[in-house]
Amino acid sequence: MERHDAVVVGAGFSGLLMLHRLRSLGLSAQVIEAGDGLGGTWYWNRYPGARCDIESLDYSYSFSEALQQEWRWTHRYAVQADILRYAEHVADRFDLRRDIRFGTRVTAARYDEAAGRWRVETDRGEALVARHLVMATGCLSVARLPDVPGLESFRGRWYHTGDWPHGGVDFTGLRVGVIGTGSSGIQAIPVIARQARRLTVFQRTPNFSVPAWNGPLDPAEERRIKEGYAAHRESLRWSRGGYTVEEGTERLLAQPREAVRRELERRWRIGGFSIQSAYDDIMTNPEANAVVAEFAREKIRERVKDPRTAELLCPRDHPFGSKRLCVDTDYYETYNLPHVELVDIRSAPIQAVVPEGVRTAGATYPLDAIVFATGFDAMTGALAAVDIRGRGGVALAERWREGPRTYLGLMAAGFPNLFTVTGPGSPSVMSNMLTSIEQHVDWIAACIGHLRDRQLAAIEPQPAAEDRWTAHVADAGARTLYPDANSWYMGANIPGKPRVFLPYIGGVGVYRKICDEVVAKGYDGFALTA
Ligand code: NA7
């Protein structure tokens, strides 16, 4: 039987740093990774146009001053290939690969109470035993294909953005259909349109999207950030979202409308998420939100020539930003191209994939390729995919049947020494993932070090602390407009998934302070066993 101090599941940005930190503690760790390479999200999501919509100088590790000084990003927002190259560089630079087992999926993990160890099983029939189990499995890693009948009959090729062929796909001369207009679809559509002979976009719900204004990184800006990189990162750690943005502190509704317009216009010019932070009440007050939503709809009407198409692209069923805001390059302009068509599948739903293409209630669209940009079983999907059993053989999936229950989004009662990096109930997807990953990994490493130094066997949340935190996460979400949308934040994209606001909206700075205080009070709310 293979024994380690810790098993880490996943070799994305979380798993890589976790391994590095555990090694620094002098502990043995084995990372198990389903993919044949590292990089997690950036390993799988290779679709055309895939890029991060947090700026490169923020969406990167801060743990090594030499690394952050030496690495050169080329663009304001990095493309998938550059981020993957960066992850690979980090793995080589810190000699991480030798403790990563690729092409191996963890299928089950059981807590052996008598031994105080996790027994981890893989799809290769291996069993590993470890005191600690860290799920670094990502928030958006279980790609979701909709239940459309007839896919097996399709004569062309089909793809999911979240599981893209490594050699890329050449759409030149093809009739391509894209299903889904979330961030992935909105990034892919303009790039696919440049190749395809015909592009048909099947839209169920329009999303709000703001321009990225991406371009080469300004060398002066890079120099400015790098001169005070440590201080810059420290300020991000205590900010709301963990990325560079001017946080408006005024209430939109208290301002003259003309001033609001100018401010929204200014932020539109900055691009990215800036506009969502323009005022303090945008995500809490429906009236304030409606002003920004109408501003965004006006921009769509300006960008799209055909008024009927423009109206179809205007979101009306959810508040601005309550589904994850998309950040685009030429998305709306793509609909001005003569070979691109938008099909409303809200009024005429997709009925089936047929051998020659897609059939909706209105027509049959002949296609050579279908791209599913249909999203993920977010935040809990990757955890539920592993048969995790804690004390008394209780399954995590069963305990979370009505929604995830955690303490700090880090641990669950009844599952000693099981840690989740950016788990549900933590800021995770409401923040720059890299800021949150580093905070979680550091907290977990310090916790494991604490147990080791004090010769403690295990840590797990006290049920009362877990109840309080779970209620707090829900209350914080309920004070915002996020629950008004059928989003993946709410689990609403997965039939049968409980409708619960999954991330913690309190902000990374507030959350960090809470986590630090818990530690300062001797792991308040946790039970530590000798
Ligand atoms: P999203 O944001 O979940 O978007 C998925 C899209 O696919 C969305 O437009 C959905 O429409 C559409 N969809 C899903 N199922 C169907 C079916 N059955 N029929 C038609 N259309 C469907 O996933 P992304 O990959 O774009 O982005 C995920 C995150 O990754 C993103 O937010 C960033 O954080 C990175 P719906 O809105 O459900 O009507």
Q: What is the pLDDT along the chain (530 residues), one digit of tens a residue?
A: 899 999 999 999 999 999 999 999 999 999 999 999 999 999 999 999 999 999 999 999 999 999 999 999 999 999 999 999 999 999 999 999 999 999 999 999 999 999 999 999 999 999 999 999 999 999 999 999 999 999 999 999 999 999 999 999 999 999 999 999 999 999 999 999 999 999 999 999 999 999 999 999 999 999 999 999 999 999 999 999 999 999 999 999 999 999 999 999 999 999 999 999 999 999 999 999 999 999 999 999 999 999 999 999 999 999 999 999 999 999 999 999 999 999 999 999 999 999 999 999 999 999 999 999 999 999 999 999 999 999 999 999 999 999 999 999 999 999 999 999 999 999 999 999 999 999 999 999 999 999 999 999 999 999 999 999 999 999 999 999 999 999 999 999 999 999 999 999 999 999 999 999 999 999 999 999 99
Test site for ligand 1: of 164, 184, 360, most ligand atoms within 8 A of the Cβ: 184
Per-residue confidence (pLDDT) for residue 145, from 0 to 100: 96
The DSSP bridge partners found for residue 143 are: 376
- Answer yes or no: are the C-beta atoms of 477 and 502 closer than 8 Å: no
For residue 207, the CA-to-ligand 1 centroid distance in Å is: 9
The DSSP bridge partners found for residue 328 are: 211
Whether ligand 1 lies within 6 angstroms of the CB of 205 is answered as yes
For residue 42, the CA-to-ligand 1 centroid distance in Å is: 18
Residue nearest to atom 21 of ligand 1 (CA): 180
* Nearest atom, ligand 1, residue 326 CA: 32
| Alpha-carbon radius of gyration of the chain | 23
Q: What are phi and psi of 469, to 5 degrees?
A: -65, -40
Per-residue confidence (pLDDT) for residue 1, from 0 to 100: 86
For residue 99, the CA-to-ligand 1 centroid distance in Å is: 35
For residue 181, the CA-to-ligand 1 centroid distance in Å is: 6
For residue 318, the CA-to-ligand 1 centroid distance in Å is: 14
At 427 the three-state DSSP class reads coil
For residue 188, the CA-to-ligand 1 centroid distance in Å is: 13
- Answer yes or no: are the C-beta atoms of 245 and 277 closer than 8 Å: yes
The DSSP bridge partners found for residue 6 are: 29, 132
At 59 the three-state DSSP class reads coil
- Answer yes or no: are the C-beta atoms of 322 and 487 closer than 8 Å: yes
Test site for ligand 1: of 44, 493, 502, most ligand atoms within 8 A of the Cβ: 493
- Answer yes or no: are the C-beta atoms of 504 and 410 closer than 8 Å: no
Q: Enumerate long-range contacts of 300-304, CB under 8 Å, 24 or more apart.
A: 300/332, 303/332, 303/333, 304/332, 304/333, 304/335, 304/336
- From the number of C-beta atoms within 10 Å of its C-beta (0-12, 13-18, 19+), residue 67 rates as middle
Whether ligand 1 lies within 6 angstroms of the CB of 187 is answered as no
Whether ligand 1 lies within 6 angstroms of the CB of 163 is answered as no
What is the residue type of 154?
F
For residue 164, the CA-to-ligand 1 centroid distance in Å is: 16
Domains of the chain: 2-142+378-529 (3.50.50.60), 175-372 (no CATH)
For residue 451, the CA-to-ligand 1 centroid distance in Å is: 41
What the block records as the tokens of 64 is 């090594």
Q: Which residues make Cβ contacts (< 8 Å) with residue 8, sequence separation at least 6?
A: 15, 18, 19, 22, 29, 30, 31, 32, 134, 136
* Nearest atom, ligand 1, residue 493 CA: 38
Residue nearest to atom 35 of ligand 1 (CA): 183
Helix (H) or strand (E) holding 211: strand 209-211
For residue 429, the CA-to-ligand 1 centroid distance in Å is: 15
For residue 402, the CA-to-ligand 1 centroid distance in Å is: 23
For residue 49, the CA-to-ligand 1 centroid distance in Å is: 16
Whether ligand 1 lies within 6 angstroms of the CB of 381 is answered as no
Distances (CA, A) of 186 to 211, 298, 331: 11, 18, 6
Whether ligand 1 lies within 6 angstroms of the CB of 431 is answered as no
For residue 196, the CA-to-ligand 1 centroid distance in Å is: 22
Each residue of 262-296: b (16+ CB within 10 Å) or e?
ebbeebbeebbbbbbbbbbbbbebeebbebbbebb
- Residue reference for tokens 């969406």: 59
Whether ligand 1 lies within 6 angstroms of the CB of 128 is answered as no
Whether ligand 1 lies within 6 angstroms of the CB of 80 is answered as no
Q: Which residues make Cβ contacts (< 8 Å) with residue 223, sequence separation at least 6?
A: none
Whether ligand 1 lies within 6 angstroms of the CB of 204 is answered as yes
- Answer yes or no: are the C-beta atoms of 137 and 383 closer than 8 Å: yes
Whether ligand 1 lies within 6 angstroms of the CB of 142 is answered as no
Cα–Cα dist 285/156, whole Å: 47
- Answer yes or no: are the C-beta atoms of 378 and 489 closer than 8 Å: yes
For residue 353, the CA-to-ligand 1 centroid distance in Å is: 18
In the 3-class helix/strand/coil scheme, how is 176-207 assigned residue by residue? Answer: EEEECCCHHHHHHHHHHHHHCCEEEEEECCCC
For residue 40, the CA-to-ligand 1 centroid distance in Å is: 19
Helix (H) or strand (E) holding 464: helix 463-478
- Would the pTM of this model clear 0.95, i.e. be above it? yes
Residue nearest to atom 38 of ligand 1 (CA): 493
At 251 the three-state DSSP class reads coil
- Residue reference for tokens 């201080």: 231
Residue nearest to atom 25 of ligand 1 (CA): 375
* Nearest atom, ligand 1, residue 324 CA: 32
Q: Which residues make Cβ contacts (< 8 Å) with residue 164, sequence separation at least 6?
A: 44, 45, 46, 47, 50
Test site for ligand 1: of 140, 317, 365, 374, most ligand atoms within 8 A of the Cβ: 374
Whether ligand 1 lies within 6 angstroms of the CB of 140 is answered as yes
Whether ligand 1 lies within 6 angstroms of the CB of 351 is answered as no
Q: Which of 367, 348, 434, 352 has the alpha carbon at shortest distance from 139? A: 434
